Chain A
Amino acid sequence: MESSFFQVDNLSISFGGIKALQDVSFTMDRGEIFSVIGPNGAGKTTLFNCISGLYKPNHGDIRFQGKKVDNEKPDIIAKMGIARTFQNIELFSNMNTMENIMLGRHIHMQTGLFHGMTMWGRSSFAAKDEIQHRKKVEEIIDFLELQNVRDKFVGALPYGTQKLIELGRALALEPTLLLLDEPCAGMNSEEKQDMIFWIKDIQDDLGITILLIEHDMKMVMDISSRVLAINFGKPVTLGIPQEVQQNEEVLKAYIGEGD
């Protein structure tokens, strides 16, 4: 038990009378792509919000590399190495792409007020720090092919591009665990294909473990090593994609009951 990379135990949360999550448990291994599926309102995003510290669960606990994550503040969780994207994009809309991704470097930047004030020339501490982080940001911009929107305000950019920028910002944190909340929502099939490649690259090249929420069954089946299905906040089944796809209850939840 101690050795699991990421572990959720009997997680429950309710809002008033609505039990958004009930006894959700699963473990993740380092390096895998783990997907959570379920119909709208099943509690997938609530699960993410609990993990990233935006909600405080009522019961159960979440452990990341042996450390308790629940009841920590979101910024502490970010520093522990968990980054995320949102289903409804949460960007800094009045800043450009560069600045948005640069904010992802916040936890890694060493420059305090003193060093910032004494930033003279390229050899000063602040300048070195800045150059190093900008280099990292440029790498991410190259990786996600965002060069042409580098200096544009993100509020006016197309939806798909904004999703990518959000992914870029999450990558800038250099996380160990990345939570992706419907990264392909609202994308056309070509953009979806690109996104699938990037997710694979993030897993293979950067060695980041990914927890994924996705509606697109084909995509989930293609890339995930294991799948957890939830419905009405309760876990339905957990297993490899083929098993989950065949599960009676999953089919019922998605397609509806026959009678």
Chain B
Amino acid sequence: MIDFIQMIVSGVATGSTYALMGLAMVIIYKTSEVPNFAQGEMALVTSYFAMMLLTTMNMSVYLAFFLSFVFAAILGAFLEFAVLRRAKEPNVLGMIVITIGIEMIILGFVSWKFGAEQKTMPFPIGPYDGFIIYDIYISKLDVLTLVSALFFMIVLFLFFKFSKLGLAMKATQQNSVAAQIVGIRTNRIMMMTWGISSLVGATAGLLISPTIMHPFMMWDPMLKGFAAAVMGGMTSLPGAVIAAYMLGIIENLFGGYISIEFKTVVAFVIIVLVLCIKPSGLFARHYIKKV
């Protein structure tokens, strides 16, 4: 029984990372209908930026993290402004290829500039700090990740539901011509979307870094986050988060009871099943665009 609960707890912990990545991807998809495959690497370069501030410039963790968040937001906005907006006659497929290109460029840049060897980021909460409740081990870093994921989910949900900017973002996604006609600066909206999304994704990167850092560290969280976003219906913030936790827990249980080798594969098997049964995702309010 203890094993079972322990696996669920660890599942929630990994699920939190997926949730953050999933949220980040949903935000961009919500306004532009483009799944951003550079999401993981944008978080990666932000994590290495934080590492640089901490080690070579000896900044305090708070200042370094604050600057990293600023860096992440600017990076997201910059990529939208400098790369995606320049695409001539963009279509969704072209945009996806552009994000994959950005991803590879950043990956190469990080390996070249910061080295490909494994490291850990100095952080006040170490990867092995934790506490034990009723024989169940809970890592403090995992708690922090969980809290951040829930925090972002709630804030973003309120933001999209109630703020003027959130409504403008929804409008831009649903009909960008009409959005412009009512006076919304759709370009500006896209830039902000990328900034916010990059910031959310970077949180995941920054919270993985104290455990392990290497250029491929965001691969798995990004793909799983994307999987969760697809399962949640691609436009639903709570959907992505719930799906992320489901994936995290199922994956851990599968690894514990059935096969540790196929642990990472199980997430994708689940997606295939979900997409066969309910193609619009588990939590999507589906609507059909009239042509």
Interface residues of A (CB under 8 A from B): 52-54, 73-75, 78-79, 83-84, 86, 90-95, 99, 102-104, 106-107, 109, 111-113, 116, 153, 155, 169, 172-173
Query: B164–A90 contact, CB under 8 A?
Result: no
Roughly how many angstroms separate A29 CA and B44 CA in the complex, as a whole number?
59
- B181 interface contact, C-beta 8 A: yes
Task: Name the A residues within 8 Å of B171 (CB-CB).
Answer: 92, 95, 103
Report yes or no: A94 in contact with B287, Cβ–Cβ below 8 A: yes
Question: Once the chains are docked, how many angstroms separate the CA of A54 from the CA of B163?
Answer: 27
Q: Can you name the residue of chain B whose Cβ is closest to the Cβ of A80?
A: B183
A155 to B175: give the CA distance in the assembly, Å. 12
* Residue B165 lies at the interface, judged by CB distance under 8 Å to chain A: yes
Is A107's CB under 8 angstroms from B170's CB? no
A99 to B163, CA, bound (A): 12
For A102, the closest partner residue in chain B by CB is B167
Compute how far the CA of A73 lies from the CA of B182 in the bound complex, rounded to whole angstroms.
Answer: 12
Closest residue of B by beta carbon distance from A111: B164
* CB proximity to A under 8 Å, residues B164-217: 164-165, 167-168, 170-171, 174-175, 177-186
Cross-chain contact A103 with B182 (CB below 8 angstroms): yes
Number of interface residues of B (CB under 8 A): 24
- Tell me the bound Cα distance from A109 to B185 in angstroms: 14
CB nearest to B165 among chain A residues = A113
Judge whether B285 is part of the interface by a CB distance below 8 angstroms.
yes
C-alpha spacing A79/B180, complex, angstroms: 10
Given contacts A113-B163, A116-B163, contact A93 B184 (CB under 8 A): no
Q: What is the CA–CA distance of A113 and B168 in the complex, to the nearest angstrom?
A: 13
Q: B184: which A residues are within 8 A, CB to CB? A: 75, 103, 106
Find chain B residues with CB under 8 A from A153 CB.
Answer: 287
Whole-angstrom CA separation of A244 from B182 in the bound complex: 33
Which residues on the A side are within 8 Å of B180 (C-beta)?
53-54, 73-75, 78
Name the residue on A nearest B155 (C-beta): A117
- Provide the residues of chain A in CB contact with B287, threshold 8 Å: 93-94, 153, 155
Q: Is the CB of B290 within 8 A of A107?
A: no
Contact check, A106 vs B163: say whether CB atoms are below 8 A apart.
no
Q: B289 an interface residue at 8 Å Cβ cutoff?
A: yes
On B, residues with C-beta under 8 Å from A are 162-165, 167-168, 170-171, 174-175, 177-186, 285, 287, 289-290
Q: Among the interface residues B162, B178, B182, B289, which one has the most CB atoms of the partner chain A within 10 A? A: B182
Closest B residue to A54 using CB positions: B177
Contact of B183 with A95 in the complex, beta carbons under 8 Å: no
Let me know if B177 and A107 touch, CB within 8 A. no
A53 to B171, CA, bound (A): 18
Return the 9 tightest CB-CB contacts between A and B, nearest first. A78-B183, A107-B183, A74-B180, A90-B178, A92-B174, A116-B163, A75-B183, A94-B287, A75-B185
- Residue of A53, A75, A107, A172 contacting most chain B CB atoms (<10 Å): A75
- Docked complex Cα distance between A74 and B180 (Å): 6
- The answer to whether A79 touches B164, judged by C-beta atoms less than 8 angstroms apart, is no
Residues in A neighbouring B165, C-beta threshold 8 A: 113, 116
Question: Bound state CA distance, A93 and B178, in angstroms?
Answer: 11
Complex contacts, A75 vs chain B, CB 8 Å: 180, 183-186
Within the assembled complex, what's the spacing in Å between the Cα atoms of A106 and B185? 10
Q: How far is the CA of A169 from the CA of B162 in the complex (A)?
A: 19
Q: Which residues from A are CB-within-8-Å of B177?
A: 54, 90
Closest to B287 in A: A94
Q: Is the CB of A95 within 8 A of B174?
A: yes
Most buried by A among B174, B175, B178, B289: B178
Q: Name B180's closest neighbour in chain A (CB-CB).
A: A74
Beta-carbon nearest neighbor of A133 in chain B: B164
A106 to B164, CA, bound (A): 7
Alpha-carbon gap, A112 to B177, bound state (A): 23
B182 close to A78 (CB less than 8 A): yes
CA distance A63 to B170 in the complex (A): 32
In the complex, are the beta carbons of A99 and B167 less than 8 A apart?
yes
